[in-house]
Amino acid sequence: MLAQTSVPTPKESSLFADARTRLDRALKYVSMSEDALGRLKYPKASLCVSIPVRMDNGSLSVFQGYRVRYDDTRGPGKGGVRYHPNVSMDEVQSLAFWMTFKCALLNLPFGGAKGGIALNPKELSRQELERLSRGYIDAIADFIGPDIDILAPDVYTNATIMGWMMDQYSIIKRKVSPAVVTGKPVMMGGSQGRESATAMGAYYAIATLLPKFDLIPEQTTVAIQGFGNVGGILADVLWQAGYKVVAVSDSQGGLYAEQGLDIPSLRQYKAERKTMKAVYCQDTVCNVVEHQTISNEELLTLDVDILIPAALENQITELNAADIQAKYIFEVANGPINSAADRILEDRGIYVFPDILINAGGVTVSYFEWVQNRSGLYWNLEKVNQRLKERMVEETENTWKIGKELDVSMRAAAYIHALNRLGEALDAKGTRDYYLNGH
């Protein structure tokens, strides 16, 4: 039966409602039972916890934490944990929803999950962050596990924080449990290549797609919003491949240089001084080069070939979509373009390559780490990157093929591809037609 209805939810909030609308167009092309659609109405489980933390000055602060496991039909939940002031149940539920489709799109044996704590991590000391991270695991330990729900780094969390979380879970369970968390330090069972996985996956997708438009790196200009772990590494990889990276930004603002930025020098300068400046470095000597200081909002509207939002969600909306000049947008952040802006960009002939494909390198190498933890056999960086490249290229080509065959956007094609896999898994447990027609 060809489903024509969207996936409803009984209590829609703004971000989640917007996330859900992405499925509407895809569902017109997917044969999915009403049973399967019904099971996608609700998250499998949602948890809201309070985390009391004794601060360095002796005071007690209580933080709000969340974990949502949206679907586990294809395997245990999988998703990151973010530390950010804007974390809410609405945001976490939306991100878990997206993760469900991302894992299906990349054909990973996982469902979608996500977690987070509402705070500004820059205001906490390292000791306070450790107590907070361990307190979060204390609160959710019965909700997660290597066969239930596996954590990973996300916005403002890193390998060290993941190591604390894995260690705390192991203490609670009284056994070493490395597979409960991915993105850990390598010496604690982490995978080679995990830190660079999201950026490398995005690069493999970009390198697969751009030749279809007869673009060559040396003649292609790039602007990247977000110069953190993912955006900074991706900028470096693109620069090394010959792309002309003319603009980057972080939470404090951005830099633009028409002649192109020297990305390795910029990354070195930021690592040493915790601030960005357009420089050219030789060894320890860095000289400032000609550039303009721009805002994050200005970066989005630059006249470049490729725009890469690699920061937070809802950066391109109906308010600024008409000002976007880039010809190709690769979503490295989760949900950087809302559904209203999607329609405007599509009408203007701008190609948007969706987050559930482009940033899937992180969860793919998280899967590799989980497999290595469970088998006790560990791979070198070359093997990790080769397997990541094979997976990203294969699913990018599959999504491109669906888009061309059905004459739909890459976002719709990605959701169609994921929905087909999800529908098959959901229906395998039995449908209305199966039970009515059974003998």
Residues with catalytic roles: 114
Instruction: Calculate ∠ Cα 229-306-19, nearest 5°.
Output: 70
Mapping DSSP onto H, E and C, the string for the chain reads CCCCCCCCCCCCCHHHHHHHHHHHHHHCCCCCCHHHHHHCCCCCEEEEEEEEEECCCCCEEEEEEEEEEEECCCCCEEEEEEEECCCCHHHHHHHHHHHHHHHHHCCCCCEEEEEEEECCHHHCCHHHHHHHHHHHHHHHHHHCECCCEEEEECCCCCHHHHHHHHHHHHHHHCCCCHHHECCCCHHHCCCCCCCCHHHHHHHHHHHHHHHHHCCCHHHCEEEEECCCHHHHHHHHHHHHCCCEEEEEEECCEEEECCCCCCHHHHHHHHHHHCCCCCEEEECCEEEECCCEEECHHHHHCCCCCEEEECCCCCCECCCCHHHCCCCEEECCCCCCECHHHHHHHHHCCCEEECHHHHCCHHHHHHHHHHHHHHHCCCCCHHHHHHHHHHHHHHHHHHHHHHHHHHCCCHHHHHHHHHHHHHHHHHHCCCCHHHHHCCC
Query: Which residue type occupies 244?
Result: K
- Phi first, then psi, for residue 264 (nearest 5°) are -60, -40
Q: Do residues 281 and 265 lie in contact, with contact meaning Cβ atoms separated by under 8 Å?
A: yes
CB neighbour list of residue 21: distance below 8 Å, 6 or more residues apart: 6, 339
Rounded CA separation 242/249 (Å): 20
Nearest partner of 111 among 429, 427, 365, 421, judged by Cα: 421
Query: Which residue type occupies 43?
Result: P
For residue 176 the two structure tokens come to: 């070493």
